Amino acid sequence: MHELPVTQSLLKIALDHAERANAKKVLGLNIVMGELSSMVDDSVQFYWDIIAKDTIAENAVLRFRRVPAELQCLSCAEKYHPTDGEFICPKCGNIGAKIIAGEEFLLESIDVE
Amino acid sequence: MPQTISVVENILNANDRLAEENRARLDAAGVFSINLIASPGAGKTSLIEQTLPRLKGRLRVAAVDGDIATSLDSDRAAAAGADASVQINTGGECHLDAVMLRGALDRLDLTQFDLLIVENVGNLICPANFKLGTHKTVLVASVPEGDDKPYKYPATYRGVDTLVINKIDLLPYVPFRMDYFQRGVQALNPGVVTFPLSCITGEGFDGWIQWLIENTRKE
Ligand SMILES: Nc1nc2c(ncn2[C@@H]2O[C@H](COP(=O)(O)OP(=O)(O)OP(=O)(O)O)[C@@H](O)[C@H]2O)c(=O)[nH]1
Ligand SMILES: [Mg+2]
Ligand SMILES: [Zn+2]
């Protein structure tokens, strides 16, 4: 979706935390990206290479940890990974589920020196 | 010495924080607010046009219309009897965000209204990702779009509070399996309230109007 504003926000958060830690350089960013978050890691990387230039986070390595979508059936509480199409519980066949994981989009930590 | 610093911050945080500020302003003024999202042409403005006369004398309503360009939609809202109507031109952006809504709130005397209706930019994907601070997100689906949309846009259908299914007058002419559509909706968003209606015939409006009035009274 909106990888440019998202990447700008990512850079700002990383620089804020690096500054608070009196870091001279940001070496890497550890990002958590849920399967349902509709983010594309290649485009984040693309914008990053442009906007992080001339900051202390230039050349930082972006690491993406993908979190698969996980649902919990509202009828029988079975946890399952949805497949395309209808989200049907593999155990009881009911539809209707709560999302347990897969929506997150977080900066978990940064590596600095 | 290289070291790792824990951050754990939501990357869309800046917008979310502003959305909370907008919500606080609306709460302080006792205004109930909805964010209408839909694909282009689903009938967001038509819904506003048909809703306003039915609320006349019952609720004081302000309309905010987001559009890439033109003030056509806010003119329609004003003509339909909105007590105030504000246009936000997003200048190319395909969604409203919390900053833009803040700008619109600045132009309204919130103490003068009970209900704020925000029409987002016609787009089924991006508006769902940017909170505005409104109390409820209402998705306007429409029959000619097809019954597979919940399956194709799960993130959008999952995140909404209320669903209007517009253009039911076209059901006899368009292949649209209401049960298949509703099954997809309930799978993603169990228990979500749906209002099938038509902005042309007025069928189905009673439930929608009642929902608006009840929620506004609560606020
Ligand atoms: N048959 C039928 N047509 C409708 C209905 N509601 C709206 N329309 C028509 O659908 C078209 C689009 O309606 P709008 O209200 O402008 O749609 P919108 O979602 O505001 O569109 P954008 O703001 O451009 O995204 C118009 O030609 C309306 O007359 C309905 O219930 N039935
Ligand atoms: Mg419109
Ligand atoms: Zn089950």
**pLDDT band per the 50, 70, 90 thresholds, residue A103:** confident
Check pLDDT > 60 for residue A54. Answer: yes
What spacing in Å lies between the alpha carbon of A69 and ligand 3's midpoint? 16
The CA radius of gyration of chain A, in Å to the nearest whole number, is 18
Answer yes or no: are the C-beta atoms of B21 and B102 closer than 8 Å: yes
**What is the pLDDT of chain B when averaged over all its residues?**
93
pLDDT value at position B110?
96
Count CB atoms within 10 A of the CB of residue A1: 17
Answer yes or no: are the C-beta atoms of A33 and A3 closer than 8 Å: no
Terminal alpha carbon distance of chain B: 54
Alpha-carbon distance of B168 to B97, in angstroms, equals 30
- Give chain A positions within 8 Å (CB) of B187: 86-88, 95-97
Residue bearing the bigger pLDDT, A94 or A28: A28
Answer yes or no: are the C-beta atoms of B32 and B219 closer than 8 Å: yes
pLDDT value at position B136?
97
Pairing of strands B32-37, B3-10: unpaired
pLDDT value at position B128?
85
What spacing in Å lies between the alpha carbon of B153 and ligand 2's midpoint? 20
CB–CB contact B187 A96 (8 Å): yes
Q: Which domain holds residue A50?
A: 3-112
CB–CB contact B11 A85 (8 Å): no
Alpha-carbon distance of A108 to B153, in angstroms, equals 28
Which atom of ligand 1 sits closest to the CA of residue B48? 15
Nearest chain A residue to B184 by CA distance is A86
Q: Three-class SS of residue B97?
A: coil
Nearest Cα to B142, choosing from B37, B53, B52?
A: B37
Parse chain B into domains and list their residue ranges: 2-218
Cα angle: B139, vertex B107, B105; to 5 degrees: 40
**Candidate from B3, B10, B183 with C-beta closest to A95:** B183
Number of DSSP helices (H) and strands (E) in chain B, helices first: 8, 8
Q: Which CATH number fits domain B2-218: 3.40.50.300, 1.10.3720.10, 3.40.1670.10, 3.30.360.10?
A: 3.40.50.300
Residues with CB under 6 A from ligand 1: B 38, 40-46, 73, 122, 166-167, 169-170, 198-200
Question: Is residue B192 exposed (0-12), middle (13-18) or buried (19+ Cβ within 10 Å)?
Answer: middle
Q: What are B80-128's pLDDT values in tens digits?
A: 999 999 999 887 788 899 989 999 999 999 999 999 999 999 998 888 8
What is the number of structural domains in chain A? 1
Dihedral in degrees, nearest 10, Cα atoms B204, B205, B208, B209 = -150
**pLDDT band per the 50, 70, 90 thresholds, residue B209:** very high
Residue bearing the bigger pLDDT, A4 or B115: B115
What is the CATH number for A60? Answer: 3.30.2320.80
